[in-house]
Amino acid sequence: MSHRELIRDAFASKTPLNIQGGGSKGFLQPAPVPAKTLHTTDLTGILDYQPEELFVRARAGTRLQEIEKLLRQKQQMLPFDPPRFSPAATLGGSIASGLSGPSRPWWGAARDFVLGCVLINGRGERLRFGGEVIKNVAGYDVSRLQCGAWGTLGLLEEISIKTLPAPEEEITLELELDESDALEKIREWNRQPLPLCGAVWHQGLLRIRLSGNAAAVAQGRLRIGGERSGNTGFWEQLKEHRLDFFHSAKPLWRISLPRDCPAMKLPGEILVDWGGAQRWLLSDSSMEVLSQIAANAGGHASPFHPNRPVPLDPGLMRLHQRLKNAFDPAGILNPGRLFP
């Protein structure tokens, strides 16, 4: 049976479905309600890749690694640098989770690079939105809406993504600074035309990644100073959460903040990512406490471990439920994932 038929049947019988790709990001979501698992791992294959047109189109169950490898052969990349967390990670899972790597503040997020998709909604209808072209304003942007929707609006069958040329040069600079000075420096550099694509502070060390045109990187290096680091694997380890920091028994939290948010006291050990706009926190504190701290600073806190979904304001929540209902009227797709 095709995925469309399976979903159509589930819609008719109101059977909850748990959509699963490579299973690499399952740990991020609350334990799903008992449901039949619908695997996407057989939806594989790169359908079209045209480097000159700057796009790749693939079935959702295609492994991210495979796509990244193909792009590398043509000196291109997925600019949002999605974390895999396992070799099994799929393109569909990356878009459904909407996660982006350390370059996000400067190069953009997963949602910024989605051009189109084929989606099977909760009625089992196969729908095509967007396309392969960069500019397309016909109809509502349903494709980007799937980013971070965790499959609650439909099963992604095919996705088109904008690709970009890989940078000519990449270097990492290290500067010894305390948190407050490091964030101050980042704020200053953010306002200048520098080829920044990573800024991380942890335990007194600020690491800056510059990448792009060689001349621009060389000039940026002069401006920023510090020592050039030979630890080229750092950014991959950070993205994949393989740094020692992440090997902790304490629950991991992600605090998303405005880019100008200064050093702040958080109840636990922190690693500052995205130049301050994303702070990783190891803490036993409750969601209520952390949400309050983040909200006071203009951001939000979300668990990066199995936990309940982040609560939304009542007005927004109503709108979310109506939107969910517009795609999945029987409520069968990934119940419990995004809503309590």
Partner 1 sequence: MSLTPELGSALKDILPDDGLILEPEMLRAYECDGLTAKRGLPLAVALPRTGKQVQAVVRLCHEHRLPIVPRGAGTGLSGGAQPLSNGLVLSLARMQRILEINPDNLSARVQPGVRNLAVSDAARAHGLYYAPDPSSQIACTIGGNVAENSGGVHCLKYGLTVHNILQLQLVTAEGELLEIGSNALDSPGYDLLALLTGSEGLLGIITEVTVKLLPIPPAARVMLAAFDSVEQAGQAVGAIIAAGIVPAGLEMMDNRSLRAAEDFVHAGYPVDAAAILLCEMDGTQTEVHEQLERVERILLRYGCSSMRASDSEEERTRIWAGRKAAFPAVGRISPDYYCMDGTIPRHRLPEVLSRIEAMSGKYSLNVANVFHAGDGNLHPLILYDASKPGELARAEKFGGEILALCVEVGGTITGEHGVGSEKIDQMCVQFHSMELQQFHAIKKAFDETALFNPGKAIPTLHRCAELGAMHVHNGELPFPDLERF
Site for partner 1 in 28-57 (CB under 8 A): 50-54
Site for partner 1 in 152-191 (CB under 8 A): 153, 164-166, 168, 187, 190-191
Cα 8 versus chain centre, distance: 29
Q: Among 11-19, 25-33, 59-67, 214-222, which window interacts with partner 1 (CB under 8 A)?
A: 214-222
Q: Which residues have C-beta within 8 Å of that of residue 306, sequence separation ≥ 6?
A: 27, 28, 29, 30, 31
- How many CB atoms neighbour CB 23 within 10 A? 16
- The residue whose two tokens read 């990670």 is 89
- The residue whose two tokens read 């800024």 is 199
Q: Which amino acid is at 327?
A: F
Q: Which residues have C-beta within 8 Å of that of residue 139, sequence separation ≥ 6?
A: 129
- Cβ atoms of 159 and 114 within 8 Å: the answer is yes
- Cβ atoms of 40 and 95 within 8 Å: the answer is no
When asked if residue 79 is in the footprint of partner 1 (CB under 8 A), the reply is no
Residue 299 CB, shortest distance to partner 1, in Å, is 4
Binding-site member from 4, 39, 241, 300 for partner 1 (CB under 8 A): 300
When asked if residue 232 is in the footprint of partner 1 (CB under 8 A), the reply is no
CA distance 45 to 61: 8
Residue 287 CB, shortest distance to partner 1, in Å, is 11
Q: Which amino acid is at 298?
A: G
Residue 87 CB, shortest distance to partner 1, in Å, is 26
When asked if residue 105 is in the footprint of partner 1 (CB under 8 A), the reply is yes
Q: Among 18-26, 30-38, 87-95, 146-154, which window interacts with partner 1 (CB under 8 A)?
A: 146-154
Binding-site member from 253, 274, 280, 304 for partner 1 (CB under 8 A): 274
Q: Which of 85, 106 has the CB closer to partner 1?
A: 106
When asked if residue 296 is in the footprint of partner 1 (CB under 8 A), the reply is no
Binding-site member from 45, 284, 325, 340 for partner 1 (CB under 8 A): 325
3-state secondary structure of 193: coil
Binding-site member from 15, 44, 302, 307 for partner 1 (CB under 8 A): 302
Residue 200 CB, shortest distance to partner 1, in Å, is 15
Residue 37 CB, shortest distance to partner 1, in Å, is 23
When asked if residue 229 is in the footprint of partner 1 (CB under 8 A), the reply is no
Q: Which residues have C-beta within 8 Å of that of residue 217, sequence separation ≥ 6?
A: 168, 169, 170, 171, 195, 210, 211
Q: In what order do the strands lie in the sheet with 169-176?
A: 227-228, 169-176, 205-212, 196-202, 269-273, 278-282, 252-256, 300-303
Q: Which of 153, 206 has the CB closer to partner 1?
A: 153
Residue 247 CB, shortest distance to partner 1, in Å, is 25
When asked if residue 140 is in the footprint of partner 1 (CB under 8 A), the reply is yes
When asked if residue 299 is in the footprint of partner 1 (CB under 8 A), the reply is yes
